[in-house]
Chains A and B, each alone.
Chain A
Amino acid sequence: MSSCPDYIIEFMHEYLDEEIPEEHKQELKEHLQICADCKQHFNELVKTVALVQSTSHIQTPENFTEKVMMHLPREKKKVGIKRWFGRHPILTAAAVFIIFMTASVFASWNQDDNFSVTKNKNIIIENNTTAVVPEGKTVEGDIVVKNGDIRIEGKVDGNVTIINGNNYLASAGTVTGEIEEINKVFDWLWHKIKDISSEVLQLFNSDKDAK
């Protein structure tokens, strides 16, 4: 056999893998007829395969399935929640939306803690924290003061809104509209909503007027 080419053994394995091309098969067949050593090698391989395949089926232990089921981990809450999200995409989207909305509301509440006031030539700023409407002057239109106080000694022809601050209305001062003080997030939110809805209403009314 030592004189036989190596590929004869290769052909044997191709045969056992059931992947032997026809011409290899022919060559192997012819070789096995003339070479006793190779024939023996081949027979031993065939026998080996048969022996391995002959091993009897081993019985699976009793209660195997029950034991597996007993050992399955309890469903984790996390998995449950994940699955719930997976199955309720719209609710998930709504929840995410609400989270972002809340976050942005708080962010915009906290964001601008600088003093600001509606621009008007008749408003004077004191100490960078107080807006003053001096005596004898008249501000036409609404005033919004953020993160600061307002002292009104003159006249305001409109509404006054103070966010995060106080208003001091001098006895001589007058405001023709409403005075509103907002110091809490929810007040502020409410104010925003009122603002938006009154704008919408106005739009609606002007629409009607146009008709």
Chain B
Amino acid sequence: MEDIVKKRIKEVRKGDHNAFGEIVELYKSKVYQLCYRMLGNSHEAEDIAQEAFIRAYVNIDRYNIDRKFSTWLYRIATNLCIDRIRKKKPDYYLDAEIAGTEGMNMYSQIAAEGMLPEDEVTSMELQALIQREILNLPEKYRSVIVLKYIEELSLNEISEILDMPLGTVKTRIHRGREALRKQLRHI
């Protein structure tokens, strides 16, 4: 897969617009997933994921062809997410889909409250709960947890993406896991 990607990148560098479309097609799911879990909002996630691809295109000459492309791309996406999180003021849209759910927004949440017995946690609600706890993590723990458990990347790759020493990555994953454990232990 990396070989195909590198071939496409060489074509993009020569000015072949369409070759980039193939790259987007290959990585859009991973990148969108990353942004969604980092930001917890489908509008923002789409916005940032698109921005990440556009930046990759604009800076394609700066990509070192000897390195793994996905690492470089995830790095752009992660940095954009972190920037967005830092700038973000807490905002809630009632009509925005609730994190981790499909077709559920705050209106249905308000209506649903009290209707379901607490022990009858549906799978959808569980998903929402987990996503909420991921979002409650401080950004520095959230990024490592998302990269490790949602994107299933190795610790080495995470260290490269976030440009931080392996030891720091490990410490953050440990703390992130402990923080999540405290929130999710009673499920």
Cβ B20 vs Cβ A13 within 8 A: no
Give the chain B neighbours of A65 by CB distance below 8 A.
Answer: 21, 24-25, 28
Cβ B150 vs Cβ A72 within 8 A: no
Give the chain A neighbours of B155 by CB distance below 8 A.
Answer: 17, 19
Does B1 belong to the interface (CB within 8 Å)? no
Does A101 belong to the interface (CB within 8 Å)? no
**A74 and B56 alpha carbons, distance in the complex (Å):** 14
Tell me which residues from 132 to 163 in chain B have a Cβ below 8 Å from any Cβ of chain A.
134, 145, 149-150, 155
Stretch among B29-37, B79-87, B105-113 lining the A interface: B29-37
Tell me which residues from 53 to 85 in chain A have a Cβ below 8 Å from any Cβ of chain B.
53-61, 64-65, 67-69, 71-73, 75, 80, 83
Cβ B33 vs Cβ A57 within 8 A: yes
Give the chain A neighbours of B150 by CB distance below 8 A.
Answer: 52-53, 55
Give the chain B neighbours of A67 by CB distance below 8 A.
Answer: 50
Cβ A72 vs Cβ B54 within 8 A: yes
**A56 and B130 alpha carbons, distance in the complex (Å):** 11
Q: For A48, A57, A71, which residue has the most chain B Cβ atoms within 10 angstroms?
A: A48
Cβ B145 vs Cβ A52 within 8 A: yes
B103 CB, nearest partner CB in chain A, Å: 11
Tell me which residues from 37 to 87 in chain B have a Cβ below 8 Å from any Cβ of chain A.
37, 42, 46, 49-50, 53-54, 57-58
Using A53-B149, A55-B131 as known contacts, say yes or no to A60 and B32 having CB atoms under 8 A apart. Answer: yes
Give the chain B neighbours of A75 by CB distance below 8 A.
Answer: 15
Smallest CB-CB separation from A70: which chain B residue?
B50
Using A44-B181, A51-B130, A52-B150 as known contacts, say yes or no to A13 and B174 having CB atoms under 8 A apart. Answer: yes
**A59 and B97 alpha carbons, distance in the complex (Å):** 13
**A45 and B149 alpha carbons, distance in the complex (Å):** 13
Give the chain B neighbours of A103 by CB distance below 8 A.
Answer: none
B96 CB, nearest partner CB in chain A, Å: 14
Size of the A side of the interface (Cβ < 8 Å), in residues, is 33
Does A16 belong to the interface (CB within 8 Å)? yes
Cβ A68 vs Cβ B130 within 8 A: no
**A22 and B42 alpha carbons, distance in the complex (Å):** 43
Cβ B127 vs Cβ A52 within 8 A: no
Give the chain A neighbours of B32 by CB distance below 8 A.
Answer: 58, 60-61, 64
Give the chain B neighbours of A60 by CB distance below 8 A.
Answer: 28-29, 32-33, 49
Smallest CB-CB separation from B155: which chain A residue?
A17
**A64 and B47 alpha carbons, distance in the complex (Å):** 10
**A181 and B186 alpha carbons, distance in the complex (Å):** 103
Cβ B187 vs Cβ A51 within 8 A: yes
Does A31 belong to the interface (CB within 8 Å)? no
A-B contact pairs, 16 of them (CB 8 A): A44-B184, A48-B177, A54-B130, A55-B130, A56-B100, A64-B28, A65-B28, A68-B21, A68-B53, A69-B20, A69-B21, A72-B20, A72-B54, A73-B54, A75-B15, A83-B14
If A65-B25, A75-B15 are given as contacts, then 19 extra A-B residue pairs at C-beta distance below 8 Å, sorted by A number, are A13-B170, A13-B174, A13-B177, A41-B181, A44-B184, A47-B187, A48-B185, A52-B149, A52-B180, A55-B100, A55-B127, A55-B130, A57-B29, A58-B32, A64-B28, A64-B32, A64-B50, A69-B24, A71-B50
List the interface of chain A (C-beta within 8 A of B): 10, 13, 16-17, 19, 41, 44-45, 47-49, 51-61, 64-65, 67-69, 71-73, 75, 80, 83
* 10 shortest interchain CB distances as A-B pairs: A13-B174, A44-B185, A60-B32, A52-B149, A48-B181, A65-B24, A68-B53, A48-B180, A44-B181, A48-B184
